[in-house]
Amino acid sequence: MMAVAAAQKNREMFAIKKSYSIENGYPSRRRSLVDDARFETLVVKQTKQTVLEEARNKANDASLEECIQQAQEHIPAEQNVELQDEQPNLENLELPMDNDYVPVEDFEIESAETEQSQEPAGQPPKNDYGLTEEEILLANSASESPEAEAAMQSAALVVRLKEGISSLGRILKAIETFHGTVQHVESRQSRVEGVDHDVLIKLDMTRGNLLQLIRSLRQSGSFSSMNLLAENNISVKAPWFPKHASELDDCNHLMTKYEPDLDMNHPGFADKVYRQRRKEIAEIAFAYKYGDPIPYIAYTDVEVKTWRSVFKTVQDLAPKHACAEYRAAFQMLQDEQIFVDHRLPQLQEMSDFLRKNTGFSLRPAAGLLTARDFLASLAFRIFQSTQYVRHVNSPYHTPEPDSIHELLGHMPLLADPSFAQFSQEIGLASLGASDEEIEKLSTVYWFTVEFGLCKEHGQIKAYGAGLLSSYGELLHAISDKCEHRAFEPASTAVQPYQDQEYQPIYYVAESFEDAKDKFRRWVSTMSRPFEVRFNPHTERVEVLDSVDKLETLVHQMNTEILHLTNAIHKLKRPF
């Protein structure tokens, strides 16, 4: 729980507190998932730089004497650290070698050291010459409480030795003095000019002592640089992400709450009644918590009229232009009297329908979520849906997602097993991804789930929600006025998005299965150093980062394969 709290605090520290406006650097006039991701990448970088610089300046205000005094407060006097003097005998030193052995030619020092000021050769470093981001986040975790400071931390240090391997003894003595346990040590001749050896040390130590150890090592002239690296191959600065569906309660606070109040070009900007209505529905969504029934919205006659206009248009166009999977699900929704023209479907009845068919469910959202939070919900087969309706003066266009877009565009295909799986895999790929990768995933989502086309019996059909709920762009997308390209995630992920008018380029998938296969191969090239899977029984995302977890998963798969094998044998039996 302590680690979760620290991770959430780090997330909050770098949270986006600016509004999504052009004045704050938003890249377009209208909000979209893709532009949100770009804006969030920019703002997070700026915020991190500010936070880290403040922390570094604060750290550098402390004198060397203060650092030593702080260290001595935690260590008995007879064990004070003397890095320059005592030299343990390395010949008889026994070091444990763990199962995570990394060949010396493979371990690399992260670029964090480039953030530190570089001193001229032979010159002593200035006080604490630049904390790395990992150290600042570790310090924040340690500052939560005395218990957090005393909590054990697994860490990896890379130290560059200027004076030869004999300096390693001083480091090991310091680790012993700070009551640390060395788990693994390896060294190699350095490729950096002026550095003799690079040494990787994996250790366990309390957070407070680890910070003091790092600072003490930094004060020594024997080391060119010292870096805190990843913990268990997962960076301590990796983005927090929800592990259970209930944690999506923490993934809805980075919203622009009431779009009509912020955008003068919004159709409802001058309509005080509409703005108040939007505010009331948004507050209902903000109050929603995991496990609650989805609140019932009593839609007005005007809202039902807007729904009816769009519903009948989609009903006319879908048989000719929508993909077979969409048409089949649309018919199912009509058969169950969820899609009717005289009332808007309630999210709860739609959620029950989806859960019965594909395991997806709905969660009310007050507006357009941040890209990271929205994609994360898909990993749990949860779609965050708005409940408000677009303004009556603009029934066929809305500057942001509304319930009509969600219901007519997204819901039918979320009832298709293959498409539901594709949507979930996009969500799973987003968990723990970097800001740059979130931007790419958002772009892939935009050109598939929102504006995707597919082949069907030699003809181009639409499956994107943005097309199926906007007849103007639908007719444009299937015409010869635009370019159709084969769906390839690597190129799709970097395709510029057109905000002001219809897209000039659309991507065509051979099938949902083909799209999933290509997407899986592309995701495997992402930088995230771990894999995740969703456990539908516990509604929990499991990080596959240990042999024990993999063995458990293999056992489960063997059981499933046994059931499948038995089923095949029974089908082959003669009557």
- Indicate the burial class of 539 (C-beta count within 10 angstroms; 0-12, 13-18, 19 or more): middle
For residue 25, tell me if it sits in a domain. no
Statement to judge: residues 299 and 442 lie in one domain? yes
From 351, 410, 423, 442, active-site residue: 410
Of the pLDDT bands very low, low, confident and very high (cuts 50, 70, 90), residue 132 is: low
108 pLDDT band, cuts 50/70/90, is very low
Please identify which of the residues 222, 403, 469, 470 carries the catalytic annotation.
469
Q: Please check the confidence at residue 5 and state whether its pLDDT lies above 60.
A: no
Q: Within 10 Å of residue 137's Cβ, how many Cβ atoms?
A: 24
Q: Is residue 107 part of a domain?
A: no
Instruction: Tell me the CA distances in angstroms from 501 to 25, 96, 269, 277, 486, one per residue in order.
Output: 21, 62, 21, 29, 22
Q: Which domain holds residue 394?
A: 272-533
| pLDDT for res 24 | 63
Q: Specify if 313 maps to a domain.
A: yes
Mean pLDDT, residues 46-61: 64
pLDDT at 444: 93
The whole-number pLDDT of residue 298 equals 96
Query: Last residue of some domain: 216, 236, 256?
Result: 236
Domain membership flag for residue 492: yes
Q: Residues 562, 527: one domain? A: no
Residue 100, in any domain of the structure: no
pLDDT value for 507: 96
Question: Does residue 551 share a domain with residue 439?
Answer: no
Instruction: Verify that 362 and 490 share a domain, yes or no.
Output: yes
Whether residues 438 and 517 share a domain: the answer is yes
Question: Does residue 567 share a domain with residue 521?
Answer: no
- Among this protein's residues, is 410 annotated catalytic? yes
Amino acid code (one letter) for 163: E
pLDDT classification of 51: cutoffs 50, 70, 90: low
How many domains does the chain contain in total?
3
Judged against a pLDDT cut of 60, whether residue 281 lies above it is answered with: yes
- Give dist(CA 552, CA 557) in Å, integer: 9
**Is position 75 within any domain?**
no
What is the chain's alpha carbon radius of gyration, rounded to the nearest angstrom? 28
Q: What is the mean pLDDT of residues 290-294?
A: 94
pLDDT band at 258 (very low <50, low <70, confident <90, very high): very low
pLDDT at 20: 62
- Regarding whether 368 and 287 lie in a shared domain, the answer is yes
Residue-level pLDDT at 223: 80
Please tell me whether residues 305 and 428 are part of one structural domain. yes
Is 450 among the annotated ligand-binding positions? yes
Cβ neighbourhood burial of 136 (10 Å; 0-12, 13-18, 19+)? buried
For 318-349, b where at least 16 C-beta lie within 10 A, e where not — what string?
A: beebbbebbbebbeebeeeebbeeeebbbbbe
Indicate the residue among 188, 212, 236 that finishes a domain: 236
310 and 446 both lie in a single domain: yes
Task: Specify the CATH number for the domain of residue 431.
Answer: 1.10.800.10
Contacts of 146 (CB under 8 A, 6+ apart): none
Domain final residue, candidates 215, 236, 257: 236
In the predicted model, what is the mean pLDDT of the chain?
78
Shared domain for 182 and 294, answered yes or no, is no
In the residue annotation, 246 being an active-site residue is answered as: no
What gap in Å lies between CA 196 and CA 266, rounded to an integer?
Answer: 63
Same domain, 441 and 480: yes
Catalytic residue among 405, 406, 423, 430: 405
User: Phi-psi region for residue 432, left (φ > 0), alpha (ψ -120 to 50) or beta?
Assistant: left
**Is the residue at 94 inside a domain?**
no
Is 250 inside a domain boundary? no
**Candidate list 400, 437, 450, 473, residue with the active-site label:** 450
- The pair phi, psi for residue 128, each rounded to 5°, is 60, 30
391 catalytically annotated: no
Report pLDDT for 82: 47
Q: Which of 243-257, 476-490, 545-559 has the lowest mean pLDDT?
A: 243-257
Q: Is 405 within any annotated ligand binding site?
A: yes
Of 25-29, 295-299, 475-479, 480-484, give the lowest mean pLDDT range: 25-29
10 Å Cβ neighbour count for 298?
6
Q: What is the predicted pLDDT for the residue at 17? A: 56
Burial class from Cβ neighbours inside 10 Å (0-12, 13-18, 19+) for residue 501 reads: exposed
477 and 566 co-located in one domain: no
91-100, 451-460, 462-471, 531-540: segment of lowest average pLDDT = 91-100
Record the pTM. 0.68
Beta strands in 149-277 (DSSP E): 152-161, 181-189, 197-206, 223-228
For residue 469, indicate whether it is catalytic.
Answer: yes
Residue type at 476? Answer: H
Task: Take residue 447 and report the two structure tokens written for it.
Answer: 């050109």
The domain spanning residue 141 has which CATH number?
A: 3.30.70.60
Interatomic CA distance for residues 250 and 244, integer angstroms: 11
Estimate the crossing angle of helix 207-218 against helix 168-177, to 10 degrees. 150
Q: What DSSP string runs through 431-451?
A: TT--HHHHHHHHHHHIIIIIT
